Structure 1
Amino acid sequence: MPSVRIAHDLPRAEVRRRMAARADDLVKLIPGGLGRVEHRWEHEDRMDFVIHAMGNSIASTAMVEDAALVIDFELPAGLGFVRPMIEGIIRQAGDKLLLEKR
């Protein structure tokens, strides 16, 4: 399963707060806005989410660690070729998520 680590120097509680406040913005990751995102907190430091777009679903997990936000995702069989692009989008979105208010 591909994984992206995004380093941070924030307390875990602050990372969780920012994730919760901006979780609905995940839909903006989908090109053209044609899709939807479902998310839920599995436990205090783990958010599970699924991105649905163009007939595909990408199951993902975000784990809050002391010095990093770790995002694992599972690509459907036919989408392995877009893995580098998806990793870049996740890294960019994660960096933006952890920034102070926009």
Structure 2
Amino acid sequence: MMRVAIPHTLGRDEARRRLRDKAAKAMEKAESMATITTTFADDDHMTMTVGAMGYSVDCAVELTDSELVVDVDIPASLGFAKRMIEGMIREKTGKLLT
């Protein structure tokens, strides 16, 4: 399990609005390279599954007042790519809040 925290200064309501609005757009953009499914358990918790290149990666996203915390269950066979995956999470998840 890998945990990635992305700080924000938006306030919870604005961060929540952006996360919901952009999560759907992210799914549309990734369609040719990956499959992304998202489900909101409540206002501050989202689950996401990303499928690409024969792998499926489950993520749990929690919104707090000051950060977006992403817990990622990386398959053992992708352990070699952990740093690359973390970088992509920081980049792509950060864009959900912009």
The answer to whether TM tops 0.5 is yes
Question: Residue 66 of structure 1 aligns to a residue in which SS?
Answer: coil
| Residues paired across the two proteins, number | 97
Q: Hey, which bits of structure 1, 4+ residues long, moved more than 4 A?
A: 26-30
Q: Distance in 2 between matches of 1:61 and 1:89?
A: 15
Question: Residue 61 of structure 2 aligns to a residue in which SS?
Answer: strand
Match of 1:97?
96
Within 5 Å, give how 1:22-37 maps onto structure 2: 22-24=22-24, 25-26=26-27, 28=29, 33-37=32-36
Instruction: Extract unaligned runs of 5+ from structure 1.
Output: none
**Deviation, structure 1 residue 69:** 0.5
Native 8 Å contact 2:27 2:37 kept in 1: no
What do you get for the CA RMSD once the two structures are aligned? 1.6
Match of 2:46?
47
Q: Distance in 1 between matches of 2:6 and 2:45?
A: 15
Match of 1:85?
84
Q: Distance in 2 between matches of 1:13 and 1:50?
A: 24
Instruction: Extract unaligned runs of 5+ from structure 2.
Output: none
Q: Distance in 2 between matches of 1:52 and 1:8?
A: 27
TM-score normalised by the chain length of structure 2? 0.89
Identity of aligned residues (%): 37
TM-score normalised by the chain length of structure 1? 0.86
Native 8 Å contact 1:29 1:93 kept in 2: no
2:46 is matched by which residue type in structure 1? Answer: M
Within 5 Å, give how 1:66-85 maps onto structure 2: 66-85=65-84
